[in-house]
Copies of this chain bind each other. A is one copy, B any other.
Amino acid sequence: NEGVFGVTIAVLGSVLLLAVGLPLAMFVARQRPSLILERALDPDVHRMLYLSVYAPLLAALVSVIFGVPLALALSRGFPGRTLVASLVDLPLVVPHSAAGIIVLFGFGRGGAFPQLTVLGTVTGMVLAMVFVSAPYAVNSAREAFEAVDDRLEYASRIHGASRFETFRRVTGPLAVRGIVTGGVLAWARSVSEFGAVAIVAYSVRFFYPPAGREVTSQHAPVFIRKAYLTGGLDQSGAVTFLLLLVSTAVFLIIR
């Protein structure tokens, strides 16, 4: 009976592990190194990688800079807090391409800021990324703030520190891990995003420092799909492999 239970668990658990691990293993096994090398030397791929690191970084910075104060307010509570918390979580369940459509309605033509061009710009790309990734930055920081015992803040204040000083010397330093994790998660989520970016900024013109001028490229997930449609599975596989190296680096930072 004991053994049966253990074996059942192991067998059932292994099925899911296969569903995730097998494609990954097959994917790695079926790569052709020559093709990967060729793509790794392609300037088009370099531009894509630059854009795919840089724009998510901007999005993560925005999410952290404005998300940490929001997280602090949420962790303390204020009237309407539940509503705001729900609003912050909403993008998590909005289908990805729907998020792109929503960003276009908000900031595109006829939207809130007529001077702003989002379609095909880095601005639009970053706005789409912030929309889908801000919840991660806010929730991670919020959990970190909530994990700080209220009475540690009491101890700080009763011994003379103001709210701000308490944040600077106690709450902030104790939550810094959670804030950084939130930023990394937001970055990773932005790197992953395909749907919203494909709608708002399929191809993007941006200043590319190595070339010293503006160039056009795509966000990595878009680039991969394009490679698949035009070059087939092998071509897109090589690009995916390169991108996975970057993703794995991100992943190791998170853990």
A residues neighboring B (CB under 8 Å): 1-2, 4-6, 8-17, 19-27, 30, 62-63, 65-70, 72-73, 84, 86-98, 100-108, 110-112, 127, 130-131, 134, 138, 162-164, 167, 188, 191-195, 198-199, 220-222, 224-225, 228, 233, 236-237, 240, 243-244, 247-248, 250-251, 254-255
CA distance A86 to B30 in the complex (A): 22
Number of this chain's copies in the assembly equals 2
**Which residue in chain B gives the minimum CB-CB distance to A71?**
B13
| Contact call A66/B111, Cβ cutoff below 8 A | no
**Which residue in chain B gives the minimum CB-CB distance to A113?**
B22
A199 CB, nearest partner CB in chain B, Å: 6
A6 CB, nearest partner CB in chain B, Å: 7
Most chain B beta carbons < 10 A, residue from A72, A98, A100: A98
**Which residue in chain B gives the minimum CB-CB distance to A24?**
B102
CA distance A50 to B127 in the complex (A): 31
**Which residue in chain B gives the minimum CB-CB distance to A94?**
B247
| Contact call A65/B240, Cβ cutoff below 8 A | no
| Contact call B225/A94, Cβ cutoff below 8 A | no
CA distance A67 to B112 in the complex (A): 44
Given A88-B20, A101-B236, A194-B194, A12 and B66 contact (CB-CB distance below 8 Å)? yes
**Which residue in chain B gives the minimum CB-CB distance to A30?**
B105
Question: Could you write out 30 A-B pairs with CB less than 8 Å apart?
Answer: A2-B164, A9-B73, A12-B68, A16-B63, A16-B138, A17-B84, A19-B127, A19-B130, A20-B90, A21-B87, A23-B105, A23-B107, A23-B112, A23-B131, A24-B87, A25-B106, A26-B111, A27-B102, A89-B251, A93-B188, A93-B191, A93-B192, A94-B244, A95-B194, A95-B221, A96-B194, A97-B228, A98-B221, A192-B195, A199-B225
